[in-house]
Amino acid sequence: MQADFFARKRKNSLGFFGILVAITVGAIVITEYDIVKGFESLPRAVTWALGNFYPTQESLVKFPDILSSLIETLLVSIAATSIGAVFALFFAIMGSNTTRVNAFFGSISRVIATLFRNIDVAAWALILLFSFGQSSLTGYFALFFGSFGFLTRAFVETIDEVSGGSVEALRATGANYASIIFQSVIPSSVPQMLSWVLFMIETNIRSATLIGLLTGSGIGFTFNLYYKSLNYDIASLVVVTIIVSILLIESISNYVRRVIL
């Protein structure tokens, strides 16, 4: 009996591993991917990058331009995230099982949030390109929709996890809905929610760079411009600037998180 149990467990993991290998091999065959050639080209790519892709003295002239488009990207990301968070808070309160007004509105707000979450930010950018054309507004709305969907989900889980007990206690005292939300749910979940918002800002700054390529705005566009015109030195300066700013923002948000949690 016991031996059976362990044998079955071993067989299951072996089976799972086998399927994984089969899928990988299948994918390689179908796409006609040459593994050896793939790995062989790596050193050459590195050599090329070292030979061409580095900032030079002359590229520094463009630094102020790069900085201003970087700031635009940063601000758009932060604005999209914070406005998204406000909407997400409302939908999360409506959608959480602990705080929803009734089951009907609960499922509606969850469905809306799921819809927005499951469409990728890049997909949103492509969809919105039709309405707003190539402008930073398109990027802003793409990030806003993506953050809204993700944050709603994260907030719902925070509310359910953190405030179940105290919500019950306040309901038992006869407190009204607004009191319960503002005296129990929000004070309990604010630190975790802020932490999610910071995470979302970080993620959005990364996505904003990519979305800039699509929407023709921000730092992504700047990179594309110089890269396509073969100004690799300036393009690499853009990359360095992005990396530095992402590291900087990550350390800032880690610090804030340490203080509030």
Partner 1 sequence: MTLLEVNHVSKQFGNETKALSDVNFSVSEGEFVSIIGPSGAGKSTLLRCINRMIDASNGEIIFDNMNVMNLKKKELKMVRTKIGMIFQHYNLVNRLSVIENTLHGNLGKKSTIAGALGLYSQEEKEQAVKILSTLGLDEHIYKRADQLSGGQKQRVGIARALIQNPRMMLCDEPIASLDPNSAKVIMDHLRNISTTMGITVLVNLHQVDVALKYSDRVIGINHGQVVFNGTPKDITKDDIQRIYGSEAEDLIFDIGGIHAS
The span from the CA of 88 to the CA of 101, in Å, is: 16
The span from the CA of 258 to the CA of 261, in Å, is: 6
Helices (H), 119-231: 121-132, 136-172, 177-180, 186-215, 218-228
In angstroms, give the least distance from the CB of 165 to partner 1: 4
- Residue closer to partner 1, measured from CB, 122 or 175: 175
The span from the CA of 192 to the CA of 65, in Å, is: 37
Per CB under 8 A, 182 contacts partner 1 = yes
The span from the CA of 84 to the CA of 250, in Å, is: 20
Per CB under 8 A, 2 contacts partner 1 = no
- Residue closer to partner 1, measured from CB, 2 or 176: 176
Quick one: which of 79, 122, 126, 183 contacts partner 1 (CB under 8 A)?
183
Per CB under 8 A, 257 contacts partner 1 = no
Tell me which residues in 127-166 interact with partner 1 (CB under 8 A).
163, 165-166
Q: Which of 118, 124, 109, 120 is nearest to 155 (CA)?
A: 109
Quick one: which of 187, 243, 247, 254 contacts partner 1 (CB under 8 A)?
187
Q: Which of 126, 128, 142 is nearest to 76 (CA)?
A: 142
Write the interaction track for partner 1 spanning residues 160-179; mark x where CB under 8 A is met and - where it is not: ---x-xx-xxxxxxxxx-xx
- Residue closer to partner 1, measured from CB, 70 or 181: 181
Binding site for partner 1 (CB under 8 A): 163, 165-166, 168-176, 178-184, 187-188, 190-191
